[in-house]
Amino acid sequence: MEASPNVQKRNLAVLIAAQAFLGAQMPLIFTIGGLAGQQLAPHPCFATLPIALIVLGSMLTATPLSAFMQRYGRQAGFFLGALGGAAGGAMAAWGLVENSFPLFLFGSLLTGIYMSSQGFFRFAATDTASEAFKPKAISYVMAAGLVSAVIGPTLVKLTANEMVVPFLGAYLAVVAINLIGALLFFGLDIPKPVAAKDSAGGRTRRELLADPRILVSIICAMVAYALMNLVMTSTPLAVVGCGFTQNNAADVVTAHVLAMFVPSFFTGHLIVRFGAEKIVATGLVILAGAGAVALAGTDLFNFFGALVLLGLGWNFGFIGATSMLSTAHTVEERGRVQGMNDMIVFGCVTVASVSSGGLMNCSGGDPVQGWTAVNIAMVPFLLLAGFALLWLMFGKTKAGAPS
């Protein structure tokens, strides 16, 4: 559904602004969620459960939210996502006031509605873009996370300890971000998709997963996002546990989120020039490098270095996989493919979030041993994605070879 140049530009501007402003709540919550969970949880092993519940909420709502957007449009879906984010922030704030871990967890689950909707910003950027511009549109929207990477952790420093109840101010800021940011979507102009008249709605989910390009795209996106989440979720716990301050943890997360989104200014161009598969492969190699730096020591330099590489690897891996997926389905299959993709991706990210706290706090006698376990856990999943990508690339080469 390629639109006029003016509409393309306006939609892209709205989505960039939404990613920048509304997206700030995610680094904010990921910085303090584990620390607040550790304060409320009955056992340290459950410290990262709030983060896991956010991702679970995203997984559970990905498919219905995608279907909702397929029927009522992107604008309505994004309004719903912002409402979920506001409700989640308010519920989590209530949990902090009442010192109630269950209420706090329920707020985290509701926050997942926003996280799910944010995941569709990148797909919405391609809805009215030309085929040649789609990888760049995805990249530009993701690049807006550069601003959210500054706003989110800055709000942590300004609000986390400004009220009698620790972290309460930060969660009230989340409510404000969602209510104000939702106004941006009044400027969005993306038509609701119309299925082709000669089509029965495209392939079934089973048929879609049998497509090698779709399957490998989902695997690579799943691994890139899950490993990023696995390590990032436990980072504040590891930084503070190794003797550094909460502000040090916020600075490390800031550097990480900057590394996630700064490369987006050129990732789309690299995909156009070299192909999505090679960019995804580069991302997997960088993720392996992040684990190696983390395992090399627990100085502040190691935390910064590992998390910067983690962000860069996620950027190449996830944007590359998204670009692969966006070219592997028809318009009438869009809602089905994108909902299925995000359900699978965030399902695995949920497992990673839960595992992060268990590995960090319950797999050794001290934070160093826990941090080591978190990073060693990356290995089998990197191998899975690497072999899947090689299978796809080898299959394409073989199919294209002259007989």
Q: What is the pLDDT of residue 364?
A: 67
Q: Which residues of 142-164 are buried (b: 16+ CB within 10 A; e: fewer)?
A: bbbbbbbbbbbbebbbebbeebe
**Which tokens go with 356?**
């992060």
CB proximity list for 108: less than 8 A, separation 6 or greater = 33, 50, 51, 53, 54, 57, 88, 92
What is the chain's pLDDT, residue by residue, as a tens digit (403 residues)? 555 667 778 888 999 999 999 999 988 988 888 888 888 988 877 877 888 899 889 888 888 888 888 888 888 999 999 999 999 999 999 999 999 999 999 999 999 999 989 988 878 887 777 777 777 788 788 788 888 878 888 888 888 777 888 889 999 999 999 999 999 999 888 877 665 444 456 787 788 888 888 999 999 999 999 999 899 888 988 998 898 987 888 889 889 988 988 887 788 889 888 988 999 999 999 999 999 999 999 999 999 999 999 999 999 999 899 888 877 777 677 777 877 887 788 788 878 877 887 788 777 678 889 999 999 999 999 999 999 999 988 876 554 443 3
Structural domains of the chain in order of their starting residue, each with its CATH number: 5-188+205-400 (1.20.1250.20)
Integer Rg of the chain from CA: 20
Compute the residue count for the chain.
Answer: 403
Closest Cα partner for 137 from 121, 116, 157, 150? Answer: 121
What is the dihedral sign for C-alpha 273, 274, 277, 280? negative
Quote the pLDDT of residue 3: 56
Is the CB of residue 305 less than 8 Å from the CB of residue 256? Answer: no
Q: How far apart are CA 134 and CA 181, in angstroms?
A: 25
Angle at 209 between CA 121 and CA 220, to 5 degrees: 55
CA geometry: angle 301, 306, 309, nearest 5 deg: 125
CA proximity to 166, closest of 45, 33, 49: 33
**pLDDT attached to residue 323:** 85
The answer to whether 11 and 125 are in contact (CB under 8 A) is yes
Q: DSSP string of 173-206?
A: HHHHHHHHHGGGGGG---PPP---TT-SSS--HH
What pLDDT, on the 0 to 100 scale, is given for residue 403? 30
Q: Evaluate whether 103 touches 94 at the Cβ level (below 8 Å).
A: yes
